[in-house]
Amino acid sequence: MEVAVFDHTGKETGRKVVLSDAIFGIAPNEHAVYLDVKQHLANKRQGTHKAKERSEVSGSTRKLHKQKGTGGSRKGDINSPIFRGGGRVFGPRPRDYSFKINKKVKDVARKSVLSVKAANTGITVIASDFTLQAPKTKDYIKFLESFSAGDKKTLLILPEKNDNVVLSSRNLQKARVTTANQINTYDLLHADTLLISESSLPIIEELLK
């Protein structure tokens, strides 16, 4: 698949690049995408939730009344879950939500999302000389607007970290910046438009080959 290369002002440079069909042209595997996104979100969970059980709440352990003969139900101490302020039954405990999936499944997931984006013209290749001289948010907004993506969720993929670009974009809620060797399925899927630096393509192809 051939796509045009644009400069940072949104104009075509007259050059084209070929996107590898093995990465940008496969049949999407929706289940692999589901598993990778599920793992990504699960791994982000802190798992620090905790509720007090009846042995942990503050209160007397005295039995409220005798077991039988009162005509009422059996009751233990005031910390019982049936009382207001008592412990919680089967409450959440700290746990690790992370789980493992095979690297090949993650590769297929990323290829699937890239293929869908390529098929739906959701990928724009920009010339490799894109950079910002200083960290200015308005300059990055102008850059996005030149691709009619000012109000869209965007993911800019660079070959290596550029502090000026990162600092210029981090105040924009819908704009994300990453490097080619750190792309993940969730960020790719979340973005409406992928802005890929031309020099990032060989890195992506090497990563997902």
Tens digits of per-residue pLDDT, 162-181?
899 999 999 999 999 999 99
pLDDT at 133: 87
Q: Label residues 125-162 b or e (16+ Cβ within 10 Å = b).
A: bbeeebebeebeeeebbebbebbebeeeebbbbbbeeb
DSSP structural state of residue 59: S
pLDDT in tens, 18-69: 999 999 999 999 999 999 999 999 999 999 999 999 999 999 999 999 999 9
pLDDT at 181: 93
User: Is residue 39 packed enough to be buried (19+ CB in 10 Å), middle (13-18) or exposed (0-12)?
Assistant: buried
Q: How confident is the model at residue 13 (pLDDT cuts 50, 70, 90)?
A: confident
Rounded distance between C-alpha atoms, residue 126 and residue 13, angstroms? 9
Among 126, 125, 101, 129, which residue's Cα sits nearest to residue 185?
Answer: 101
Using alpha carbons only, give the angle 27, 151, 201 rounded to the nearest 5 degrees.
40
E strand or H helix that includes residue 12 = strand 12-18
Instruction: Tally DSSP H helices, then E strands, for the chain.
Output: 7, 6
Helix spans in 45-197 (H): 103-119, 137-145, 163-169, 185-190
Kindly tell me if the per-residue pLDDT of 95 is higher than 90.
yes
pTM (2 decimals)?
0.82
Pick one of 3.40.50.300, 3.30.470.10, 3.40.630.10, 3.40.1370.10 as the CATH number of 2-45+97-207: 3.40.1370.10
pLDDT in tens, 192-205: 999 999 999 999 99
Domain ranges of the chain: 2-45+97-207, 49-96
pLDDT in tens, 101-138: 999 999 999 999 999 999 988 899 998 878 888 999 99
pLDDT at 1: 83
Do the bridges between strand 123-126 and strand 154-158 make them parallel or antiparallel, or are there none, so unpaired? unpaired
pLDDT at 206: 92
